Amino acid sequence: MVGLGQWGRMVWEAIVSLRDVDVWLGLTLRQLTRVGVDSVPIALFIAMFTGIVLALQASYTFTGAIPLYFVGVLVGKTMMLELGPVLTGLALSGRVGANISAELGTMRVTEQIDALETMAYPPVAYLVVPRVLAGIIMFPLVTALAIGVGIAAGWLTSLQLLDMSTYEFVYGLTLFFQPFDVTFAMVKTISFGFVVTSIGCFYGFRTRGGAEGVGRSTTQAVVVSSMVILVLDAFWAITLL
Amino acid sequence: MGIEIRDVHKAFGSKEVLRGFSAEAHDGETLVILGGSGSGKSVTLKHIVGLLAPDRGEVWVDGLRVDELDREGLFELRRNVGYVFQFAALFDSMTVAENVGMGLKRLTGVSKEDRMRRVEECLERVDMVGYGERLPAELSGGQKKRVGIARAIATEPRYILYDEPTTGLDPMTRAVIDQLINRMKAELGVTGIVITHDMESAFRVADRFAMIHDGKQQFQGSPDEIRSSADPMVRAFIEGRPELIEEAE
φ/ψ of B145, rounded to 5, equals -60, -40
**How much is the pLDDT for B173?**
84
C-alpha to C-alpha distance for A210 and A105, rounded to whole angstroms: 9
* Per-residue pLDDT at A57 exceeds 80: yes
* Rounded to 5°, angle at Cα B146 from B46 and B89: 40
- B-chain residues near A110 (CB < 8 A): 87, 89, 92
Across A217-240, average pLDDT: 96
Quote the pLDDT of residue B249.
63
User: Which residues on chain A are in Cβ contact (under 8 Å) with B92?
Assistant: 110, 112
- Which of B71, B89, B102 faces A111 most closely, judged by CB atoms? B89
CATH T-level topology, domain B26-80+157-249: Rossmann fold (3.40.50)
Using CA atoms, how far apart are residues A230 and B125, in angstroms rounded to an integer?
56
- Contact call for B102 and A122, based on CB within 8 A: no
Supply the pLDDT for residue B248: 65
* Residues A27-52: tens digit of each pLDDT: 999 999 999 999 999 999 999 999 99
| Residue contact A120–B46, C-beta within 8 A | no
* Report field, pTM of the whole predicted structure over 0.90: no
All residues at 6 or more sequence positions from A215 whose CB lies less than 8 Å from its CB, including other chains = none
In chain B, what are the domain boundaries?
Answer: 26-80+157-249, 90-156
State the pLDDT confidence band at B184, using cuts at 50, 70 and 90: confident
Give the sign of the dihedral formed by CA B131, CA B134, CA B135, CA B138. Answer: negative
B156 touching chain A per CB within 8 A = no
Please answer yes or no on whether A120 and B85 come within 8 Å at the CB atom: no
B7 φ/ψ sector (left φ>0, alpha ψ -120 to 50, else beta) = left
Instruction: Say yes or no for a CB contact (<8 Å) between B78 and A114.
Output: no
Whether B164 shows a pLDDT value over 70: the answer reads yes
Which chain A residues are Cβ-neighbours of B79 within 8 angstroms?
120
Q: For residue B43, what pLDDT is reported?
A: 94
Chain A hits for B81, CB-CB cut-off 8 Å, are 118
What is the ipTM, given to two decimal places? Answer: 0.88
Contacts 24+ apart (CB under 8 A), B131-137: B131/B96, B132/B95, B132/B96, B132/B97, B132/B100, B133/B95, B133/B96, B133/B97, B134/B95, B134/B96, B135/B92, B135/B94, B135/B95, B135/B96, B136/B88, B136/B90, B136/B91, B136/B92, B136/B94, B136/B96, B136/B99, B137/B92
Of A114, A120, A122, the CB nearest to B79: A120
Q: Minimal Cα–Cα distance from A78 to chain B, Å?
A: 41
Q: How do B81-84 and B159-163 pair as beta strands? A: parallel
Q: What is the mean pLDDT of residues B196-207?
A: 92
* Residue A67 φ then ψ, to 5°: -55, 145
Task: Provide, as residue numbers in chain A, all residues whose Cβ is less than 8 Å from the Cβ of B83.
Answer: 114-115, 118
Model confidence at A74, pLDDT cuts 50, 70, 90, reads: very high
Q: How is chain A split into domains, by residue range?
A: 25-236
pLDDT, one tens digit per residue, over B39-62 is: 899 999 999 999 999 999 999 999
Q: Tell me: pLDDT of B168 over 90.
A: no
| CB of B103 less than 8 A from some CB of A | yes
SS (H, E, C) A11-78: HHHHHHHHHCHHHHHHHHHHHHHHHHHHHHHHHHHHHHHHHHHHHHHHHHHHCCCCCCCHHHHHHHHH
DSSP state of B137: G
Closest to B47 in 3D by CA, of B57, B38, B35 = B57
Residue A68 corresponds to which amino acid? Answer: L
Secondary structure (DSSP) of A68-133: TTHHHHHHHHHIIIIIHHHHHHHHHIIIIIHHHHHHHHHHHHTTHHHHHHHTT--HIIIIIHHHHH
pLDDT exceeds cutoff 80 at B1: no
Tell whether B135 lies on the interface with A, counting CB pairs under 8 A: no
Residue B216, helix vs strand vs coil: strand
Q: CB count, 10 Å around CB of B236? A: 18
Per-residue pLDDT of A100-123, as tens digits, reads 999 999 999 999 999 999 998 999
